[in-house]
Structure 1
Amino acid sequence: MKHFRMPFVGLLSATLLFTGVSGVQTASAHEAPLRTLADRADLRIGTAVDMAALADDSTYRRRTAREFNSVTAENVMKWEVVEPTRGTYDWSGADALVRFARDRGQAVRGHTLVWHSQLPGWLTSGVADGTIDAAELRGILRKHISTEVKRYKGKIYQWDVVNEVFEEDGSLRNSIWLQKLGPSYIADAFRWAHAADPKAKLFLNDYNVEGINAKSTAYYDLAKRLRAEGVPVQGFGVQGHLAIQYGFPGNVEGNLARFAALGMQTAFTEVDVRMILPSDPEKSAKQATYFRGLLDACLGTRSCKSFTVWGYTDKYSWVPGVFAGQGAATLLDEEFGAKPAYAAVREGLAAGR
């Protein structure tokens, strides 16, 4: 993660909802769930969903339904999952999530159509050995976007169309897409997605773009240029993967506001706040201020339509598997007990816009 300068962030009380003799925080069954408070604040509150956990863990399934009015597929809409063999599709996981959401009155965010990572082996190997040339690659990309978006037409309210295309210094990432197709692939992806579902809102999406910096400014300049050309770039997604050992990003609301001024929606799409383990009360309190800081920025910006956490329980968080010695990054602990971060999000939603 990028090191950010730390502005003043007022310490949040993160009042415990209930505290037992062990000090473990739990949310009362009688408290309004996050989704009820979010509805009142005119916001989608979402989570990325682990489909294996959804199938096997009844507590996870119940809390996912209770707390959130929006869901994102953590992995099952990514290209390596939906087309593991060329021309052979596996929509089972994505379909299951869409059905789950429909039955529980939840909206669905689509993630993600164009990315440099989690691509199927047949695609990457074909590009590497030259059996897939640039012209064929462009056709493959168009078919992938069109096929997936059309399948879920009318069922996805926001799509992360193009994901993580810039480096930290604002230069374009040297992905296979840039190497083989040039920068025009970005505009093409949005045009193809829009043609497949004209009503879905189409987003750019990246990490380390919470505040105003070289990377977020590169996105701003790109969005401004593409929109002036009539390309349907309609949203800017801020992932929000933070860590308490680094400073809170500066001028988050100002960053959102400049995209709003272009006529775009904004969203926090993958929020979690990790820490160096073990956790302790001081770290947990600081974590709560980070969650609340991002949420307040969203609530303070009319264009910010959704706030999604990347998993809500430490039991299924991706963080420990990627960042050695770090974790405890979500709203609930491994036993589904509420942490101060959960209380902070509740307080923020209750305060509203």
Structure 2
Amino acid sequence: MRLWSALAAAFAVTLAASAAHADESLGAAANASGRYFGAAIDVDALSEKPYRTLVESQLTSATAENAMKWGEIETARGVFDWGPADAFVAFAKSRGQKIRGHNLVWHQQLPRWLIGGQFSASDVKALMLAHIETEVARYKGSIYAWDVINEPFADTGEWRHSIYFDAMGRDYVALALRAAHEADPDAKLYINDYGVETAGPKTEALFNLVAALKREGVPLDGVGFQCHFVAGSAPDDLADVMGRFATLGVDVAVTELDLRIPLPVTSGALERQADDYASVVAACVSTPRCVGVTTWGVTDDRSWIPGFFSGYGAALPFDEQYRPKPAVSAMTKAFTAQRR
């Protein structure tokens, strides 16, 4: 009983310290550094007032977690369900939030009719281009940036085999970027990947791809660093890596940040998580071409982590009761450090 009382007291102190910095929203703090703070949004949850209020008050950018993916939009060939995506875009626009479109070309969450069909290489190319042109044109003028290419490389740094790569080889990347640019010339176009936040073969493969695309005049505006980490293990060379990519003439952004914790959660783990959230924000702030930070979700009750990483959870800045965790004050301080 005494142990439980001590743990409860420690959590209360930790959360109270976090709440003390909650008056300044993360969006406002990011704006002070000339950047945005965003999150992946569960569109279905926007009907719940506490969730909607948190999204409205904290974010200056929004990404649809699933609603804009091909498998969600074109459930049968030529049959479209734009309802959730339209609702998301309308919501974010009405709140003045930048919208990151996610995503156009990915090897997962594809329509069943596509992955189960018997399509030739030329068919796959035509279908990919039609999908890009249709979706990007629908939201022309509303989307700040598109994750056009998502996760093109395997963890080894080799090209990831996918329906696209197997049909077109590496050419699918340039084809997709050009199609997106033609459909909306004003949208920023990104390649987005995980495991590229520190030096290694996958990072080098992505760097070489970006360099080649820029040499070839392919429209590419940015590189997204997903940043899915275990708390306490965020890389210490993230700023160096982002700065190196920026030398190629592209923006960089943190696009899917979360920091999972082994369960059960302890106050020490929350502090380590806060330190890592702060270090990622600081890396962005110290990189002139880093335009913003997006977390992959807002609250722990709607995080993807428990369903994919057994024994882990509590990965986001707000807990299951929507209370700010130490990560919130840590990020706020990191965003605003230069103005103090």
Q: Return the TM-score normalized by structure 2.
A: 0.93
Aligned counterpart in structure 2 of residue 73 of structure 1, from 56, 59, 64: 64
Q: Secondary structure at the match of 2:198?
A: coil
**Counterpart position of 1:288:** 274
Alpha-carbon distance between aligned partners in 2 of 1:24 and 1:291, rounded to the nearest angstrom: 16
Greater per-residue helix proportion: 2
Alpha-carbon distance between aligned partners in 2 of 1:136 and 1:283, rounded to the nearest angstrom: 50
Q: Deviations over 1:110-145 (max 9, x none)?
A: 00000000000000001xxx2x11111110000000
**Counterpart position of 1:192:** 179
Q: 1:23 to 1:173 in 2, by over 3 A?
A: closer
Q: 1:293 to 1:70 in 2, by over 3 A?
A: same
Q: Specify the code of the residue in structure 2 equivalent to 1:59.
A: P
Aligned counterpart in structure 2 of residue 88 of structure 1, from 64, 79, 84: 79
Shift of 1:254: 1.1
Are 1:310 and 2:300 counterparts?
no
Q: Secondary structure at the match of 2:40?
A: strand
Alpha-carbon distance between aligned partners in 2 of 1:115 and 1:313, rounded to the nearest angstrom: 25
User: What are the equivalent positions in structure 2 for 1:1-353 lying under 5 Å apart?
Assistant: 24-25=15-16, 27=19, 31-55=23-47, 57-126=48-117, 130=118, 132-244=119-231, 247-352=233-338
Shift of 1:248: 2.5
Alpha-carbon distance between aligned partners in 1 of 2:223 and 2:12, rounded to the nearest angstrom: 44
Runs of 4+ in 1 over 2 A off after TM superposition: 19-30
**Unmatched runs of 5 consecutive residues or more in structure 1:** 1-18
Assess if the C-alpha contact under 8 Å between 2:14 and 2:326 holds in 1.
no
Alpha-carbon distance between aligned partners in 1 of 2:231 and 2:298, rounded to the nearest angstrom: 17
Shift of 1:352: 4.1
Q: Secondary structure at the match of 1:155?
A: coil
Number of residue pairs matched by the alignment = 329
Q: Specify the code of the residue in structure 1 equivalent to 2:100.
A: R
Shift of 1:302: 0.9
Alpha-carbon distance between aligned partners in 2 of 1:21 and 1:141, rounded to the nearest angstrom: 51
Q: Specify the code of the residue in structure 2 equivalent to 1:27.
A: A
Assess if the C-alpha contact under 8 Å between 2:260 and 2:315 holds in 1.
yes
Assess if the C-alpha contact under 8 Å between 2:26 and 2:328 holds in 1.
no
Q: Return the TM-score normalized by structure 1.
A: 0.90
Q: Deviations over 1:201-238 (max 9, x none)?
A: 11110111111211111111000011100101211000
Shift of 1:249: 1.6
Q: Secondary structure at the match of 2:89?
A: helix
Assess if the C-alpha contact under 8 Å between 1:207 and 1:239 holds in 2.
yes
Shift of 1:348: 1.0
CA-based RMSD: 1.6
Alpha-carbon distance between aligned partners in 1 of 2:21 and 2:314, rounded to the nearest angstrom: 23
Return 70-79 or 331-340, whichever deviates more: 331-340
Alpha-carbon distance between aligned partners in 1 of 2:19 and 2:76, rounded to the nearest angstrom: 44
Alpha-carbon distance between aligned partners in 2 of 1:160 and 1:146, rounded to the nearest angstrom: 14
Q: Specify the code of the residue in structure 2 equivalent to 1:68.
A: L
Q: Specify the code of the residue in structure 2 equivalent to 1:270.
A: E
Q: Deviations over 1:38-95 (max 9, x none)?
A: 212110100000011112x210000100000000000000000111111111111111
